[in-house]
Amino acid sequence: MANELFLGRTVGSAAPLSLEADDLTTHGLIVGMTGSGKTALGIILIEELLRKGVPVLAVDPKGDLANLLLDFPSLSPAEFAPWLPPGGGTTAEAEAQRWTKGLSGWGLSAADVAALAASREATVYTPGSSAGVSLDLLGSLAPPPGGSAEEEGRDLTAAFLSGLLGLMGRDADPVSSREFILLARCVDEIWGRGETATLEALLATAAAPPFATVGALPLETFFPKKDRDALVLALNGLIASPATAAFRGGAALDVGRLLGKTADGRPRLSVFSIAHLGDSERLFVVATLLARVRAWMRGQPGSTALRALVYIDEIFGFFPPSAEPPTKKPLLSLLKQARAFGLGTVLATQNPVDLDYKGLANCGCWWVGTLQTERDRARLADGLTSASGLTNVEELLSQTKKRVFLLHDVHRKAPELFETRWAMSYLRGPMTREELARIPKPAQAAAAAPASATGAAVAAGAAGTAAAVAAPPPPPAGPSGPPLLPSGWSAKWLDRRGAERATPYLYVRAAVRYRSGKAISDEIPVLRLFPLDAASPREVLEGEALDAGDRPLADAPPARALRYADLPSWAGASGVKEVEKAIRDRLPDLLTATLLQDPVTGSLSNPGEDPEAFAARVAGKAKPPAALVERLEKKRRDLEQAEAAEKGRQMETLATGFGAAIDVLGGLFGKRKSLKVGRVGSVLSKRRMEATAESKVEALRQEIAELEAKTGAPDPDRFTSVEVVPARTNVDVLGAGVAWVS
């Protein structure tokens, strides 16, 4: 059919596997561990949507999705040469040949790549950086046609102020936050004058509100002047800070344009690359973007056909099961409401336990690749069994491997295993800011909106009004050093993504031993990083821990200059004591692990140790008890004697049987007149004795096999899983401090 997306071919039959584009209005989830081909599947899905004329807005936290702009129409070595991965492991000629051969195996050619490149307009946006097309996420908020009282106006205000207050580190709840309610009222006043709500205009209005009441309360009761002055100073700092200046210049955030088509009808691909940002900045960018998408969506007419797609390549941290980051509410709204407007959402992740299942229950398409842990497989198997009614989901999941996924689509009769096709885009891996800067920018997208005369006039008025609250001079424009740390804490650095801004995390080093019964694991070194942007010291360890991978913490900052985020206001001497108490109280529970235990030796595995490695370690370290070894040797001696006795019985039975046969033949054909029945009975008796000897030999062999299993290398199948919470006495905290993550 004309609206089908060609994703690959089914395993077994090799028949082409296609997905109806409109199925994505019920949203989708791609799950798979690193190396499973998860990102490649997402890129193939986006390629197919663009070929069908569907615009795509893609959020790229890892830096891979910019590969979508590397579609080379001729598949020539000259096109590949500038984009070869660093390291020199291949040549342009080899890559051109590999891509040509890979595509031809799926019935695709350079002509298809050229058609894809010509069929869409692609742009890489880099909020907070000039590497790609920069975006104005904070500059202004124009009044909607229906005014602020309309639903669209309320959504735009909520999106704008949520991002603004989130970047300031203040509460952005539309109901409980005084800051949000006051600034929303200020936006209403600015729009009421027919003006655009710039930051400068917002500051001026908040400094001298033209209204005396908020709701049913006097302004001074609801938000006293002293507190308002503090808010105005914070706004002024936001305007003056070089860290936020990069979020104000550039192209306007026009979601209608991003999720629309060009004048000649081509769909737009808008890749938001945020790999260079710190974690708090990522939350701000994604929350602002999703809130604007939600506001745009609610202004669209209903549709049963897929109008556009929002794709997030790694959802970790944006949609957790318990915490409430600013990204969670708008994303949940999209999953619950976007179908009616023809807007699809596809999320990708490595670990399904990191996601809120209330929202994922709204996903109608699941692509499940290779999963890392048994818990992940069990959770998805349970969900898919309930959704599809099949009983062999676990068997299907066991067949997934690199580029092989299990597709569950509510529009299909049953799940299907399929292999993904070859991507038309050149998948060369994550791209640095320097590489992004080499990608050509569409002229219209790259053009930054000039500042308006109205904005300049409002800014001048704001400056005069802000002087009344004694605004401090702006901070220096260059990078700054890290803030002073509380006494007793040390500073470390983790260069995770090469960002320009460093975000503070609490690092905790510890040594832990796990005990189950009499079994105890080795001493395991542990490093945990917790975001410091918690509301109180006791809540720091409740945040989502950052995965540092195998990167060590450095004692000195990276060579490049960094800008440093502020430490929380509670990070003083008393706050440090509360954090240290929280570490003692909560760390053991946070180190809970599911381990393997050997029921024979009682040994306990270490966290992350697979069954084979555990079996080898048990065999190398565990010495069987002397009594068990002696018993095994005795059984072996008994077996030798029993086998010798069995062999003697067989010979005796054979001789007796031969004599009985002679007697019988003599009785029939010879001179004897009667058969010797007694000798025949002796043969039967000896055969019964022989069978008893055989049974004894077999029983001894079975006992020896069981004893050898207990004294030899263990079979991983005999291991059991146990969940172990380490006792406080088995957790030694070796150090804590601030890790600056960039």
Q: How many residues does the chain have?
A: 742
In a domain, residue 476? The reply is no
Residues 516 and 581 in one domain: yes
- Is a pLDDT exceeding 90 seen at residue 32? no
Which residues have C-beta within 8 Å of that of residue 134, sequence separation ≥ 6? Answer: 125, 126, 127, 128, 246, 249, 250, 251, 448
Which has the minimum average pLDDT: 5-9, 17-21, 180-184, 352-356? 352-356
Identity of the amino acid at 448:
A
Please give the share of the chain, as a percent, with pLDDT higher than 70.
78
Dist. CA 651–CA 687, nearest whole Å: 11
Q: Is residue 77 part of a domain?
A: yes
State both tokens at 620. 């190398």
Confidence of residue 44 (pLDDT cuts 50, 70, 90): very high
- Give yes or no: residues 406 and 278 share one domain: yes
Determine the angle formed by the axes of helices 92-104 and 110-119, rounding to 10 degrees: 90
Looking at residue 334, what is its pLDDT? 92
For the chain, first and last CA: distance in Å? 47
SS3 category, 452: coil
Q: What contacts 413, CB < 8 A, 6 or more positions away? A: none
Which of 257, 251, 232, 140 has the alpha carbon at shortest distance from 191?
Answer: 140
Of residues 103 and 566, more confidently modeled: 103
The answer to whether 327 touches 286, Cβ cutoff 8 Å, is: yes
The predicted structure's pLDDT at residue 547: 75
Same domain? For 152 and 233 the reply is yes
Q: Can you give the CATH number for the domain in which 272 is found? A: 3.40.50.300
Closest CA to 334 of 264, 410, 267, 255: 255
Mean pLDDT estimate for the chain: 80
pLDDT tens-digit readout, 454-478: 333 333 333 333 333 333 333 333 4
Judge whether 264 and 62 are in contact, CB under 8 Å: no
Residue that has been written with the tokens 């000259």 in this structure:
78
Same domain, 311 and 372: yes
Residues 285 and 186 in one domain: no
Largest CA distance in the chain: 144
The domain containing residue 537 runs over which residues?
496-592+725-741
pLDDT-derived band at 224 (thresholds 50, 70, 90) equals very high
Q: Is residue 428 part of a domain?
A: yes
User: Of 124-133, 416-425, 450-459, 614-623, which has the strongest mean pLDDT?
Assistant: 416-425
Identify which of 148-152, 499-503, 580-584 has the greatest average pLDDT: 580-584
Is residue 452 one of the residues assigned to a domain?
A: yes
Give the model's pLDDT for residue 712: 60
Whether residue 428 sits in one domain with residue 370: yes
Examine residue 487 and state whether it is found in any structural domain, yes or no: no
Query: Which tens digits make up the pLDDT trace of 654-681?
Result: 555 555 555 655 555 555 545 455 555 5
Residue with tokens 């082409």: 16
User: What's this model's pTM, rounded to 2 decimal places?
Assistant: 0.62
| 437 and 328 co-located in one domain | yes
Give the helix ranges, DSSP H, for 514-603: 573-590
Residue 466 confidence (pLDDT):
35
Is pLDDT above 60 for 561?
Answer: yes
- C-alpha 505/C-alpha 529 separation (Å) is 6
Q: What does the pLDDT read at residue 721?
A: 86
Do both 586 and 656 map to the same domain? no
Does residue 270 contact residue 296 with C-beta atoms inside 8 Å? no
DSSP state of 261: B
Beta strands in 557-639 (DSSP E): 563-564, 593-597
490 domain residue, yes or no: no
Interatomic CA distance for residues 262 and 123, integer angstroms: 12
Domain boundary (414, 446, 478) is at 446
3-state SS, 98-151, equals HHHHHHHCCCCCHHHHHHHHHHCEEEEECCCCCCCECEECCCEECCCCCCCCCH
Are 271 and 355 members of one domain? Answer: yes
φ, ψ of residue 653 in degrees (nearest 5): -65, -40
Place of tokens 């509380």: 486
Residue type, 153: G
Please check whether residue 632 lies inside any domain of the structure. Answer: no
Contact present, 291 and 155 (Cβ < 8 Å) = yes
**Token pair of 542, please?**
């409740």
Under 8 Å between Cβ of 458 and 115: no
The pLDDT of residue 221 is 92
Give the list of residues 6+ apart from residue 424 with CB closer than 8 angstroms, or none: 47, 71, 103, 108, 112, 113, 116
DSSP result, 222-234: HS-HHHHHHHHHH
- Domain count for the chain, please give it: 4
Q: How confident is the model at residue 390 (pLDDT cuts 50, 70, 90)?
A: low
Q: What is the pLDDT of residue 677?
A: 52
620 lies in some domain: no
- Cα torsion 367, 372, 376, 381 to 10°: value is 50
Q: 386 is written with which tokens?
A: 């309930």
Rounded-to-integer distance, Cα 107 and Cα 8, Å: 11
Q: What is the pLDDT of residue 571?
A: 78
- Distance, in Å, from the CA atom of 195 to the CA atom of 142, rounded to the nearest integer, reads 7
Q: How confident is the model at residue 598 (pLDDT cuts 50, 70, 90)?
A: confident
498: part of which helix (H) or strand (E)? Answer: none
Q: Which residues pair with 630 in a beta bridge?
A: none
Residue with tokens 């952005």: 172
Phi, psi of 389 (to 5 degrees): 80, 5
Residue 658's CB is within 10 A of a number of other CB atoms, namely 11
Which residue is it, tokens 């048994």? 374
Q: Are residues 115 and 192 in the same domain?
A: no
SS3 344: strand
Q: Whole-angstrom Cα distance, residue 488 to residue 467?
A: 39
> Are the C-beta atoms of residues 306 and 340 closer than 8 Å to each other?
no
Task: Give mean pLDDT, residues 317-324.
Answer: 81
- Distance from C-alpha of 356 to C-alpha of 423, rounded to nearest angstrom: 30
Q: Do 415 and 316 sit in the same domain of this protein?
A: yes
Highest mean pLDDT among 267-271, 494-498, 515-519, 600-604: 267-271
Based on the fold, state whether residues 125 and 262 are members of the same structural domain: yes
Give the closest residue to 697 by CA, choosing from 629, 630, 646: 646
Give pLDDT, residue 306. Answer: 94
